[in-house]
Amino acid sequence: MKDFFALIFEFFGTVQCIAYGALYDHVYVPAGFVLLFLTFVWTLLFYQGFFVWKRKAKFDTQKDWFIWMIGSSLITSAALAILADAQLRAAGKKYELSDYLEYVCLSFLWGCIFYFIFSNLVKYTNASRRKIPF
Amino acid sequence: MTDTNKNYPKLFLFCIGGTGARVLKSLSFLLASGVNIKASKIIPIIIDPDDSNGDVQRTIEILRNYQSVRKSLEFNYNGFFKTDIQTLASLNPEGGKRIPDSFRADINGTRDGIFQNFIGYETMSLENRAMVELLFSEKNLTSELSVGFKGNPHMGSVVLNQFNESAEFEVFASQLGEKDRVFIVSSIFGGTGAAGFPLLVKNIRNAKDPLSNPDRLKNVPLGAITVAPYFGVEPDDTISIDKSTFIAKTKAALEYYYDNLSGNNSLNALYYIGDQTVRDYKAAEGRTKQMNDAHVIELFSALSILDFMDIPEERLKCSNGVADESSFLEYGIRDDVDHLNVQNLGLKTKVAILEPLTQYVLSMNFWNNTLQQAVSKPENWARSKKVPIKTDFLVTEFYRQQLSRYNLRFKEWLDEMARNTRSFAPYNQDTTMLHNLISGFTPMKKTLLGGEKPNEWYYEDYNHELNEQDVKLPVMEIEQRFMALFYNATKLLFQKRFTALFQ
């Protein structure tokens, strides 16, 4: 599992994080699950109209989808940064955010990618949003 | 949904005079909205010597428009305009008598000339002239026939008595199928309708050679509605129509009908309708000036046609030109109020027309208020990959020339009924708060605390329903897809939002 999530978080990593070893030992697994869970929840929220506009053709354009993807991925990556900080502190490691900034940026990117993938699965649950993103 | 109407008989619908034309107009709007009638096709035959009568002209224009919209549609997924309306000439096989492709039947000798020429007054002997002068005033004798009979049924009965010799009547007789039905709409208080109705019944029930199918014609299921006074005319010394005679004429005609129609079972079903004559129109002696506002009585009269087509075949048997069983029916509303809305209608009427009519009004509301915005955005239902509905659809002949024009007349009809007396204003047609669409009715929903509040809904809910339907429809021509989308979406919207109307 560790290697699987490491593959995700280091997939684009040409420049290694300073905190690479500590992240591998203490963060990737919980962060991976949180990333998948949160992204799925954001996607579900969008496609189910936040459960308020479920049966309304509202907030259903490609622009809306894109804005929600950026916003939700930013929140996810912030959550993963907080998670990393907490995990590293708990393990007695001292790193600053700048030391694992690449991990945070990759979290954002993977947030967007998973959002895109989940969108294409979840979109069929709502007629008003089934043609989004395409 | 499938097109099941093909199994039903044809309906030959004779509409006599201005009232007949206005009832036909109401019927066409009901049929456009998808009201169900058990007829495979309807063949309206308007009988009015006044070929420039405003009401007749407007009705013919509406029927032509109906046909042009319908031509582009199929009815596997769409119920708007599902009933076929055709001219008599379109049924006529090659080799049959040639008649004009018109909804109006021509009556020989009425196009030009005056009544005395029509009856050959100039060539009569002195004795016969004296007899004619006893029956007809000088004003009657010098009346132009091209403007109708101006409230003089005794003139109408002479002229219209020759309708059975016309080519139209021959074609009608030859095209009458075994199970087909005939219905006659006329008023009892005017000239053309009051005169034409009993003559037409007589000519049908006494059909004989050389007319085609005389036996079939004699025993055809025959229904009629006779409309008693429901409007008046303003006093005008220059016009021969006088509303003070309406009631007397009605009484006299009813007595005549008792002896010659209802009393001898000539008809399988006879419907009576009328109202207080609250509103007086400006008097008009025919021609284009005779164009009255639509009235709810005409809508209710149109319902009699639906009702007649609902009667089982076994109850419409005739033997030797006499109905085995005759029904005499009237129409009533639930509350006697001056301003009617849907809550004042009886349950049977609600069940018959409310859903389709509301569907069509909902569709028109969307088309008028937000269609352009929806296709420009575009909403998802308009983004179909195979049949996208783009803004250029709004300038096609179908949408701009045919459907929009028909909708203008539909709206005009509803507006006229709403401003007439007694008024019928079932819809707030232009509202954007769709929960307020039906006058006098607001859909409610339960709150968490057990109370109730208005169940508000707007175009975003409407678009969602269109999106739902878009997914379900197969690939089809754009016009069909457009109508099917709205038919199915509005049907579900009605069922979700308005069924409390039936409680």
Scored b (16 or more CB within 10 A) or e, A79-104 reads: bbbebbbebbeeeebebeeebbebbb
Using pLDDT thresholds of 50, 70 and 90, give the confidence band for residue B61. very high
User: Above 60 in pLDDT, residue B12?
Assistant: yes
User: Above 90 in pLDDT, residue A131?
Assistant: no
Q: Are B104 and B46 in contact (CB under 8 A)?
A: yes
Burial class (CB in 10 A: 0-12, 13-18, 19+), B424: buried
| Non-local CB neighbours of B214 within 8 Å, separated by 6+ positions | B173, B207, B208
Q: Are B341 and B426 in contact (CB under 8 A)?
A: yes
Proportion of chain B above pLDDT 70, given as a percent: 88
User: Which is nearest to B47 in space by CA: B91, B115, B101, B107?
Assistant: B107
Least confident of A89-103, B168-182, B283-297, B309-323: B283-297
User: Above 80 in pLDDT, residue B322?
Assistant: yes
| Non-local CB neighbours of B423 within 8 Å, separated by 6+ positions | B296, B338, B339, B340, B417
Report in angstroms the alpha-carbon separations of B395 from B68, B196, B372, B379.
16, 44, 11, 18
Residue A125 touches chain B, beta carbons under 8 Å: no
- Tell me the residue type at B445: K
Measure the CA–CA gap between A99 and A88, rounded to whole angstroms: 12
pLDDT of residue B229: 82
User: Which is nearest to B30 in space by CA: B493, B333, B354?
Assistant: B354
Burial class (CB in 10 A: 0-12, 13-18, 19+), B402: buried
In angstroms, the separation between the Cα of residue A73 and the nearest Cα of chain B is 25
In angstroms, the separation between the Cα of residue B394 and the nearest Cα of chain A is 21
DSSP state of B263: T
User: Above 60 in pLDDT, residue B276?
Assistant: yes
Cβ distance B380 to A58 less than 8 Å, yes or no, reads no
Q: Are B77 and B476 in contact (CB under 8 A)?
A: yes
Least confident of B17-21, B176-180, B248-252, B469-473: B248-252
pLDDT of residue B193: 76
Domains and CATH numbers, chain B: 4-110+148-331 (3.40.50.1440), 111-146 (no CATH), 347-502 (no CATH)
Least confident of B64-73, B282-291, B368-377, B489-498: B282-291
3-state helix, strand, coil in chain B (%, to 5): 50, 10, 40
Measure the CA–CA gap between B443 and B436, rounded to whole angstroms: 8
User: Above 90 in pLDDT, residue B270?
Assistant: yes
pLDDT of residue B112: 63
Residue predicted with more confidence, A49 or B10:
B10
Using pLDDT thresholds of 50, 70 and 90, give the confidence band for residue B1. low
Residue of A nearest to B378 (CA): A61
Measure the CA–CA gap between B299 and B308, rounded to whole angstroms: 15
pLDDT of residue B280: 64
Using pLDDT thresholds of 50, 70 and 90, give the confidence band for residue B4. low
Cβ distance A131 to B380 less than 8 Å, yes or no, reads yes
Contacts of B435 in chain A (CB under 8 A): none
Contacts of A131 in chain B (CB under 8 A): 380, 383
Cβ distance B460 to A58 less than 8 Å, yes or no, reads yes
Residue predicted with more confidence, B280 or A108:
A108
B177-220 pLDDT, tens digit each: 989 999 999 988 766 777 788 888 988 998 888 888 888 999 99
B426-459 pLDDT, tens digit each: 999 989 999 999 998 888 888 888 888 888 899 9
ipTM for the predicted complex comes to 0.80
Average model confidence (pLDDT) across chain B: 86
Proportion of chain B above pLDDT 90, given as a percent: 51
pLDDT of residue A19: 66
Helices first, then strands: H and E counts in chain B: 18, 16
User: Above 60 in pLDDT, residue B3?
Assistant: no
B105-157 pLDDT, tens digit each: 877 656 667 777 777 777 888 888 888 888 877 777 777 766 666 667 676 66
Burial class (CB in 10 A: 0-12, 13-18, 19+), B385: exposed
Residue range A88-93: mean pLDDT, rounded: 82
Average model confidence (pLDDT) across chain A: 86
DSSP B54-115: HHHHHHHHHHHHHHHHHHT---SS--TT-SEE--HHHHPPTTS----SSSEE--TT-SSSBH
Residue A2 touches chain B, beta carbons under 8 Å: no
DSSP A19-35: THHHHHHHTHHHHHHHH
pLDDT of residue B150: 64
Q: Rounded to 5 degrees, what are φ and ψ at B53?
A: -55, 125
User: Above 70 in pLDDT, residue A15?
Assistant: no
- The token pair that represents B124 in the structure block: 């009569």
- The token pair that represents B306 in the structure block: 């639906």
Residue showing tokens 């031509």? B71
Residue showing tokens 């709150």? B447
Contacts of B471 in chain A (CB under 8 A): 127, 130
Measure the CA–CA gap between B309 and B281, rounded to whole angstroms: 33
User: Above 70 in pLDDT, residue B171?
Assistant: yes
Residue range A78-88: mean pLDDT, rounded: 89
User: Above 90 in pLDDT, residue B493?
Assistant: yes
Residue predicted with more confidence, B200 or B282:
B200
**A·B CB contacts under 8 A:** 38
User: Above 60 in pLDDT, residue A44?
Assistant: yes
pLDDT of residue B132: 80
DSSP state of B402: I
Helix axes A101-122, A62-90, angle to 10 degrees: 140
Q: Report H helices in B336-403.
A: 347-349, 355-369, 371-376
Residue A52 touches chain B, beta carbons under 8 Å: no
Contacts of A128 in chain B (CB under 8 A): 380, 463-464, 467-468
Residue of B nearest to A131 (CA): B380
Cβ distance A128 to B383 less than 8 Å, yes or no, reads no
Measure the CA–CA gap between B456 and B365, rounded to whole angstroms: 16
The minimal CB distance from B467 to the residues A53, A57, A61 is found for A57
Measure the CA–CA gap between B331 and B333, rounded to whole angstroms: 7
User: Which is nearest to B211 in space by CA: B179, B177, B164?
Assistant: B164
